[in-house]
Amino acid sequence: MKFRQITDVATLDRFAEEFAKLSRVSLPIAYLKDARVMGAFDDQDRLMGGWVLRLSSPFRSFELFEASNMEILHFIKRAGQENIVELNGVWVNQELKSTRETFAFWRSVLKDTLDTERNFIIFGYPQAKIGLHRFYQRLHPRTIYKGPTRTGVPARIAYLTPMKVRWFYVRQAPWLLKRHLNLVKRTKRAS
C-alpha cells in the first residue's frame, strides 16, 4: 500500500464519493481542496482509503454542532485555533478491513497527524460507528462534546494530544502485537 497526498479534483471527487458511500456523510470539495487529503493506494493504484487533515478553521467537526455550543467554544478558546489539527474523513475500503494493510493504514494516519506538530488533534464521529469508537477509545481521547448534531445524528467530538498518540504505542504494544500476528495468520490462510 502506498500513501500520497491527493490534490487533483478528479481524485478528490472519488475520495468524497467513497467516503460518502461508507459514512453517509458528504465532504464538500471546497473543504477538501483547502485541506491535506491523503489517499491509500493499492498496487493497481486504486484508492482504497484515506484521511483528511485540516490545519485551519473552519473545522468540520465543530460545524456539525450548534455554533453556540459552550463546550466547543470553551475548547477553542483554551486551545487556540493555531494549535489544532482536525482529523476527518477517515475511511478504509471494505476489502482492507481486518488485513495487514489496515495496520499500515492506521500507523500512517497517526504518523501523518503527529507530523503536523499541532498540540491538539480533534476528530468527530457518529456514535453508531462502534468499531471506530473502540479504536479511538484505545487512544484515550478527551470528549469535548457528545450529543445530537445539527442533522440529529448522535455524534462525539473529542481531542487527543500528541503525547497520548505516542503513548498509545507503548500502552497498547501487547494488543497491537497480538492483533498484527492474527492479521498475518489470517492473510496467509486467505492466500
- Inter-CA distances, 11 with 16, 172, 178, Å: 9, 34, 35
pLDDT at 73: 85
Q: Which residue has the higher pLDDT, 126 or 99?
A: 126
CA atoms within 13 A on the CB side of 109: 22
pLDDT at 191: 64
Left (φ > 0), alpha (ψ -120 to 50) or beta: where does 126 sit? Answer: beta
For residue 44, what pLDDT band results from cuts at 50, 70 and 90? very high
What is the domain extent for residue 143?
2-190
pLDDT at 165: 76
CATH code of the domain in which 153 resides: 3.40.630.30
Tell me the pLDDT of the chain averaged across its residues. 85
pLDDT at 8: 95
d(CA 116, CA 120): 10
Tell me the H-state helices in the chain: 9-23, 29-33, 60-63, 70-79, 100-114, 130-138, 162-171, 173-190
43 phi and psi, to 5 degrees? -65, -20
Q: Which residue has the higher pLDDT, 38 or 152?
A: 38
For residue 135, what pLDDT band results from cuts at 50, 70 and 90? confident
Percent of the chain, pLDDT > 90? 40
Give CB contacts under 8 A, 24+ apart, made by 177-182: 179/103, 180/100, 180/103
d(CA 4, CA 15): 13
Q: Which residue has the higher pLDDT, 191 or 104?
A: 104
* Contact call for residues 89 and 19 (beta carbons, < 8 A): yes
Contacts of 15 (CB under 8 A, 6+ apart): 6, 27, 32, 37, 39, 47, 50, 89
- What is the total count of domains within the chain? 1
Residue 6: count of CB within 10 angstroms of its CB: 19
For the record, the C-alpha cell of 44 comes out as 493497481
* Contact call for residues 69 and 76 (beta carbons, < 8 A): no
Contacts of 81 (CB under 8 A, 6+ apart): 56, 57
pLDDT at 49: 94
Average pLDDT score over residue span 125-131: 82
Q: Tell me if the pTM is above 0.85.
A: no
